[in-house]
């Protein structure tokens, strides 16, 4: 990549070089902290452009996937889609090469969501039967929960469709859960239903009287080795009438669990159950070794900490005793460094709408703010918030993150080579 084609970001004197890679585009975000928008070769970046930033989308409204050539500094490919929401856009994921880009869309006449496999270099496309939340790094598989039902617990992460077209899961569903799509054939299958997960998980997901809850899938992600997935279950007491956005109606009523399994459906474990989640926590992801999970958890009911746990739920512990958790943490393959951001409302934010990208030395506990950037938007709607979502590229040198600068969403790249060599 040739980042000299882009303007530098210099506010608050960053400790590392930072460039804005969407200087002439409004309303742009990259997906999430567990996927890099930078293509496997480093040549391209894929972002999502919201058509507006002051309200949530209605079903059928169109947003745009934009592919940026990081060598030439220009947008080189675009694709319109109805399959998006404000937090994750169209869940844009790269596959194994620069010729495999996956993102969601919706057919408005049926309101059926599906994923595209697109070659941004040639423009060729292939429709998948299933949808994408996360793509395996080898490009072979897509995994997702039911993208239309995710909005029942928290809007922003799936696709917008009319409420009346969505399935309601009262009790453990046998026909809903997590779906695996083979990108070679485009065929989708149910990897495991919610009911089967609850039957097979060991340790078990602690859910008394599951028939009295609405239960849905949410996050799903492959480990770097592509041999295991971690899956997020959410549930809340079933009411007489269907309810939407339980985070807004009654966040405290929602319960959570992380479940892991192999791609053949074996070795199903509840890695972090509701008895831990109810202490307060968020944002788990795989360690680079693909065997452990990192996340924020108020494990002692005192203050949020960075914790780790094995995929089978064993050895849950704090990564360090003296460093406060926040944001969306990832551990570098060197095992020594952790990178995260904060929400604007978390104690380690600056209180003025700006937040730090935190660089933590896990050996010494020393940390520094390597970038400070504004993420506060005028919209009084949590679904429309801007999270930085700092995400490593596949070389583990560059980090992409979101900000809200000059009145719009923008995407940035930071070069952390000097910090990694220090």
Nearest to 195 by CA among 206, 180, 210: 210
Residue-wise pLDDT for 290-306, tens only, equals 999 999 999 999 999 99
Indicate the SS3 state at residue 8: strand
Closest CA to 250 of 285, 286, 214, 220: 214
Which of the following CATH numbers is that of domain 107-113+121-421: 3.40.640.10, 2.120.10.30, 3.40.50.970, 3.20.20.70? 2.120.10.30
3-state SS class at 210: helix
Q: Please report which confidence band the pLDDT of residue 245 belongs to, taking 50, 70 and 90 as the band edges.
A: low
- Are residues 270 and 204 in contact, defined by beta-carbon separation less than 8 angstroms? yes
Mean residue pLDDT across the chain: 96
pLDDT reading at 244 higher than 90? no
Residues 6+ apart with CB under 8 A from 372: 11, 12, 14, 350, 354, 355, 356, 357
Query: What is the C-alpha separation between 18 and 134, in angstroms, rounded?
Result: 27
Residue 262 pLDDT > 90? yes
Give the pLDDT of residue 240: 76
Please, are residues 246 and 154 in contact by the beta-carbon 8 Å criterion? yes
Bridge partners, 408 (sequence order): 405
Res. 212: pLDDT tops 80: yes
Cα separation, 108 vs 115, whole angstroms: 14
pLDDT, tens only, 338-357: 999 999 999 999 999 999 99
Q: pLDDT-based confidence at 243, cuts 50/70/90?
A: confident
- Per DSSP, helices labelled H in 7-129 are none
| pLDDT for res 45 | 98
Find the length of the chain: 422
**pLDDT tens-place string over residues 10-36:** 999 999 999 999 999 999 999 999 999
Peptide bond into 193 cis (omega under 30): no
For the sheet with 398-405, list strands across it: 18-20, 408-415, 398-405, 391-392
Q: φ, ψ for residue 127 (rounded to 5)?
A: -80, 135
- Which ranges constitute the DSSP H helices of 22-83? none
Does residue 288 have a cis peptide bond before it, meaning omega lies within 30 degrees of 0?
no
* Lowest mean pLDDT, pick from 164-173, 367-376, 392-401: 164-173
What residues contact residue 150 under an 8 Å CB cut-off, 6+ apart?
Answer: 157, 158, 216, 217, 218
Q: What percentage of residues in the chain have a pLDDT greater than 70? A: 99
| Interacting residues of 107 by C-beta distance below 8 A, sequence separation 6+ | 113, 114
Worst-scoring range by mean pLDDT, 56-65, 194-203, 244-253? 244-253
pLDDT at 379 over 80: yes
Prediction pTM value: 0.96
CA angle 159–165–169, rounded 5-degree value: 90
Residue carrying the six token digits 């490919």: 77
Question: What secondary structure letter does DSSP report for 300?
Answer: T
Question: What is the four-CA torsion angle of 317, 319, 324, 329, rounded to 10 degrees?
Answer: -110
Q: Which of 409, 316, 407, 419 lies closest to 361 in space, CA to CA?
A: 419
Question: Which tokens is 225 given?
Answer: 């080795």
Over the Cα atoms of the chain, what is R_g?
20
CB 187 within 8 A of CB 129: yes
Percent above pLDDT 90 for the chain: 94
- Mean pLDDT within 110-131: 97
Checking if the pLDDT of 188 tops 90, the result is: yes
Q: How far apart are CA 67 and CA 38, in angstroms?
A: 10
Residue-wise pLDDT tens digits, 88-103:
999 999 999 999 999 9
Cα 72 to Cα 65: distance, rounded to the nearest angstrom:
18
Task: Please report which confidence band the pLDDT of residue 251 belongs to, taking 50, 70 and 90 as the band edges.
Answer: confident
């Amino acid at each position: 990549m040739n980042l000299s084609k882009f303007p530098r970001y210099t506010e608050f004197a960053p400790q590392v070089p930072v460039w804005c890679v969407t200087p002439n585009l409004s309303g742009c975000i990259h997906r999430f902290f567990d996927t890099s928008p930078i293509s496997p070769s480093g040549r391209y970046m894929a972002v999502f452009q919201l058509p507006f930033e002051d309200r949530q989308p209605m079903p059928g409204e169109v947003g745009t996937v934009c592919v940026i050539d990081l060598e030439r500094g220009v947008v080189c490919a675009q694709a319109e889609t109805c399959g998006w929401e404000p937090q994750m856009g169209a869940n844009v994921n790269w596959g194994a090469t620069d010729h495999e880009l996956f993102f969601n869309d919706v057919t408005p006449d049926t309101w059926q969501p599906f994923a595209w496999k697109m070659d941004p270099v040639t423009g060729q496309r292939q429709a998948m039967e299933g949808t994408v939340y996360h793509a395996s790094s080898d490009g072979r598989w897509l995994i997702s929960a039911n993208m239309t039902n995710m909005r029942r617990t928290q809007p922003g992460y799936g696709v917008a469709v009319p409420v009346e077209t969505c399935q309601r899961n009262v009790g453990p569903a046998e026909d809903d859960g997590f779906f695996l799509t083979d990108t070679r054939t485009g065929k989708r299958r149910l990897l495991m239903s919610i009911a089967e997960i609850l039957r097979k998980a060991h340790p078990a997901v602690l859910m008394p009287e599951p028939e009295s809850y609405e239960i849905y899938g949410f996050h799903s992600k492959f480990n770097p080795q592509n041999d295991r997935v971690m899956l997020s279950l959410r549930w809340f007491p079933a009411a007489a009438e269907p309810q939407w956005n339980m985070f807004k109606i009654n966040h405290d009523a929602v319960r959570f669990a992380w479940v892991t399994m192999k791609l053949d459906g074996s070795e199903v474990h509840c890695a972090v159950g509701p008895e831990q989640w109810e202490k307060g926590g968020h944002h788990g992801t795989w360690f680079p070794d693909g065997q452990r999970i990192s996340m924020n958890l108020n494990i002692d009911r005192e203050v949020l900490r960075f914790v780790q746990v094995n995929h089978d739920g064993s050895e849950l512990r704090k990564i360090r005793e003296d460093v406060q958790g926040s944001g969306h943490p990832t551990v570098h393959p060197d095992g020594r460094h952790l990178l995260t951001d904060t929400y604007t409302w978390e104690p380690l934010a600056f209180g003025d709408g700006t937040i730090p990208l935190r660089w933590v030395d896990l050996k010494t506990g020393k940390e520094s703010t390597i970038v400070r950037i504004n993420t506060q938007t005028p919209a009084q709607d949590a679904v429309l918030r801007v999270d930085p979502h700092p995400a490593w590229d596949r070389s583990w040198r560059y980090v992409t993150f979101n900000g809200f600068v000059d009145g719009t969403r923008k995407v940035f790249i930071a070069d952390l080579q000097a910090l990694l060599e220090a």
